[in-house]
Chains A and B, each alone.
Chain A
Amino acid sequence: MTEDVQLVQQCLSGNELSMRAFLSKYQGLVFSICLRMLGHREDAEDVAQDALVRVFRNLDKWDQQRPIKPWLLTIAANRCRTALEKRSKLPAQNDLAIDLAAERREHSRHEQDQLDIGEELELALGELREDYRTCFVMYHQEELSYQEIGEVLGCPQGTIKTWLHRARAQLAKRLQERGVVADPSALEAT
């Protein structure tokens, strides 16, 4: 019996401590994907809370033979899409991008230096289309497979591959537009 299965079974018995442990383990994942998709922290908190309550409500429906991560992300993504449909307009700028921009100004003021290429990638991510961004994050950050992302987002694998390829291409162009160049030392280090 895996650790997740044991934890879920304790949650199913209504054990509050186990539910808190479950939240401690997975709320960051759910909130992260909500923030990536919605681009607004307060909205992301509300939707993540809603998603996590739905997780507890439907915990008995999780197939314990399969990993729980894609199942959690599916619920979170569905709630985010519902929230996006209700939203009359998308936020003009991503919260993460705002934070990074502020950091960049602060950093430039003191260090007069260039942002790290990883931070530039984070900034560029915030400017991507929502589905491209979600697809990129699920693949490279959460390390889901094409099939799992397809199940989470309700799309064929071919669509996921296309979105991921376009996401990379757009990120590269945005990085180039910012004057970011490939750092050979980073590749050598790996």
Chain B
Amino acid sequence: MNCQEVKEQLDAALDDQRVVSGQFDVVRDADVVAHAESCPDCRVLYDEYLLIESALAVWVPRRPAVDLTDRVIEAARREGLISSTGSAVFGKVDEVGKVDGAVPRAGRLTSGDEPFFLAGTQATPAAGRSVWPTIVTVALVLAAVAIVFQEKPGTIAHREKTPQLSVPDSPPGLLDPRQDQVADIGHLVADAQSAWRGIANRVSHQASGFSVFVPNFTSELGIADVIGSADDNSGSASPDDDAQRQETSQPSAVDKAFEFLFDKAEPAGTLTI
């Protein structure tokens, strides 16, 4: 082993020494020791190596205690590096994040700084306080409106909640078949009248721009009364009275309706049909 090899081996051994992780690799190679014993230059190197090696073995590196946290946070706040909303502010340092009225003062927060409150692991600036009351107020108003509409008669919620009165079906034997016929005819006339009025109005409007007045002969002829009475009496009236009434009203109503349609339709407005 020559001097260069001894020097390289000693350097490599020191390179392997890491104080924090406690890795030490002391050279105990017999060739190195033997060469150092016989070579004065290498003996000096070997002694230096042993000295540094033993010093590093007990060296506790000094890391002086320091707390620059408030100073750095303050400086970062002045530069707008701390977001007031938690969103990214980097790249917009000059435009956003300036703390109004904040007087730089090392070591502690200034009186002009915004106080912070904590939400979980996130820090939310006090600017958030102006948002939450609004959200809570809106939520309360919506809840109140929902309660009012829920109880108001006529709403869907109310109808769903209101128990429906159950009307028992009329026993088939108690209902005069003629009553059904009267009611059916009355509905038929009413439907025909509605359709007729609609068609007449639409055709005339498309043809000439005029609207046509077609009288509501259902009410004029008392058909509605017939229908209503038939509907009202179905299942609940006395069979004898109903039969007598319907026997007299049914033919005359139908006759009157057709008579009105073909013979007694009077002109109304400017156009006569």
Enumerate chain A interface residues (CB-CB to B < 8 A). Answer: 12-17, 19-20, 23-24, 27-29, 31-32, 35, 41, 45, 48-49, 52-53, 56-57, 59-60, 96, 116-118, 120-122, 137, 140-143, 165, 168-169, 171-173, 175-176, 180-184, 186-187, 189-190
- B residues contacting A by CB (< 8 A) are 11, 14, 17-22, 24, 26, 47-69, 71-73, 75-76, 79, 81-91, 93, 97, 116, 118, 121-123
Q: Are B71 and A49 in contact (CB under 8 A)?
A: yes
Q: How far is the CA of A37 from the CA of B85 in the complex (A)?
A: 38
Residues of chain A contacted by B17 (CB below 8 angstroms):
140
How distant is B96 from chain A, measured CB to nearest CB, in Å? 10
Contact B88 A14 (CB under 8 A): yes
Q: Which residues of A contact B26 (CB under 8 A)?
A: 187, 190
- In the complex the two chains form, is A19's CB within 8 Å of B76's CB? yes
14 additional A-B pairs beyond A121-B59, A141-B61, A143-B18, beta carbons within 8 Å, are: A14-B81, A19-B81, A24-B69, A27-B68, A45-B71, A56-B76, A140-B59, A143-B19, A143-B20, A165-B11, A172-B49, A180-B55, A183-B54, A186-B57
Contact B71–A186 (Cβ < 8 Å): no
Most B-side CB within 10 Å, residue of A16, A20, A59, A137: A16
With A16-B73, A19-B73, A140-B18 as contacts: A116 and B58 at CB distance below 8 Å: yes
Q: State the CA gap A20–B86 with chains docked (Å).
A: 15
- Chain B residues contacting A45 (CB-CB under 8 Å) are 66, 68, 71
Q: Tell me which of B55, B72, B73 has the highest count of chain A C-beta atoms within 10 A of its own C-beta.
A: B55
Q: How far is the CA of A16 from the CA of B59 in the complex (A)?
A: 36
Asked if A182 meets B90 with Cβ closer than 8 Å, knowing A23-B69, A56-B76, A190-B24, the reply is no
* In contact, A172 and B76 (Cβ under 8 angstroms): no
Contact in complex: B69, A172 (CB < 8 Å): no
B55 engages A27 (CB within 8 Å): no
Cα distance A49–B257 when bound, in Å?
102
Q: Are B56 and A121 in contact (CB under 8 A)?
A: yes
Which A residues touch B79, using CB under 8 A?
A: 53, 57
**In whole Å, how far is A156's beta carbon from the nearest beta carbon of chain B?**
17
Which chain B residue has the least Cβ–Cβ distance from A17? B123
List the B side residues contacting A183 at CB < 8 Å: 54, 58
Taking a contact as CB atoms under 8 Å apart, the answer to whether B58 and A27 are in contact is: no
Separation in Å of the B222 CB from the closest CB of chain A?
80
Q: B83 — nearest CB in chain A belongs to which residue?
A: A14
Q: Are the CB atoms of B19 and A140 closer together than 8 Å?
A: yes
Q: Which residues of B contact A190 (CB under 8 A)?
A: 22, 24, 26, 57
> Which residue in B54, B84, B97, B123 is a CB contact (below 8 Å) of A186?
B54
